[in-house]
Amino acid sequence: MDEAQLYSRLTEVFHDVFDDDTIQVTPQLSAKDVDGWDSLTHIRLLLTIERAFKIKFSTSEIGKLETVGDLVKLVQSKIS
C-alpha cells in the first residue's frame, strides 16, 4: 500500500469515526483540529484503524501519537 492509498483508507476511517465527511486527513492534522477528537474518541479511532489495517498498537505507541503524520509512519511500519 503506497502513502496515497494509506491516506485514502485513513480518510474513510476518520469520516466513519467522527461522522463527518468534510475532514481533510493531512500529515499535520491533530486532535485540536477536529471536533469531538477527545481521549475516548481517540481510542475508538485507533481501534478502528487496528481493524481496518489488521494491525495492533501497543499502549506506549498510542500514547506517543501527536499528529496524523506520526500515525501514518506507525501504520506503515506495521504493514510493510
60 binds other proteins (CB under 8 A): no
DSSP 3-state of 67: strand
Q: Which residues pair with 67 in a beta bridge?
A: 30
Work out whether 40 is an interface residue with other proteins (CB under 8 A): yes
61 is an interface residue for other proteins by CB under 8 A: no
Residue corresponding to grid cell 463527518: 20
Rounded CA gap, 20 and 76, in Å? 25
- Using CB under 8 A, which of 7, 11, 16, 27 touches other proteins? 16
| Contact set with other proteins (CB under 8 A) | 16-17, 19, 21, 39-40, 43-44, 47-48, 51, 59, 62
